[in-house]
Chain A
Amino acid sequence: AQSVTQLDSQVPVFEEAPVELRCNYSSSVSVYLFWYVQYPNQGLQLLLKYLSGSTLVKGINGFEAEFNKSQTSFHLRKPSVHISDTAEYFCAVSGGSQGNLIFGKGTKLSVKP
């Protein structure tokens, strides 16, 4: 069985500061990993994904994530956040033959001026 743990439910940070949102997964098979962002009252938008290849993945809006197989982690980072990055961020894993996503419980990023 697969599972995803997002270690922080809330992360407050000041504008222009760096941020890291942590995600750990467990799986007995090879996985694909994803980060989604959900702005208030909006749908889910794909930030970035790891399927194979380079372990450092760059996504939209200046975000990047690093796949670490030995630590079973896929942490999301941004060197300088903006107020507009305030949102809920979800880490997800897909590895079964059905292709469905298993989501973490989300991390609420609050960027303060």
Chain B
Amino acid sequence: DTAVSQTPKYLVTQMGNDKSIKCEQNLGHDTMYWYKQDSKKFLKIMFSYNNKELIINETVPNRFSPKSPDKAHLNLHINSLELGDSAVYFCASSQVSGTGSFGPGTRLLVL
């Protein structure tokens, strides 16, 4: 009965590879997000989707491409991974009020 789930939990890969992170929520929320937490623990919004429509696209390299096949899923694909992409990526979902739930995070390490 997990509310927001992410896979994989850990991801170790080489520079230049392409990888995807999947996120699913079973809360019936309309909005889903991707946040990035860097090595200094700073959390920042990357993308937001509302009912499969992109509504927030912060200053993120276009190597990052979110995809929302339906309201309950928001995946993140990263092309040509770089060392600086190493971080923890959190998926979240919410209704319009902003009170939402976070997934457990995906710890990405690029070697």
How many chain-A residues does the 8 Å CB contact rule pick out?
A: 23
Interface of B is mostly: strand
A to B contact number (C-beta, < 8 Å): 63
For A51, A95, A100, A105, the residue with the greatest tally of chain B CB atoms inside 10 Å of its CB is A100
Q: Is the CB of B48 within 8 A of A100?
A: yes
Q: Is the CB of A90 within 8 A of B43?
A: yes
Binding site for B on A (CB under 8 A): 32, 34, 36, 38, 42-44, 46, 49, 51, 88, 90, 94-95, 97-103, 105-106
Q: Is B39 an interface residue (CB 8 A)?
A: no
Q: Is the CB of B97 within 8 A of A103?
A: no
Binding site for A on B (CB under 8 A): 31, 33, 35, 40-45, 48, 50, 55-56, 90, 92, 94-105
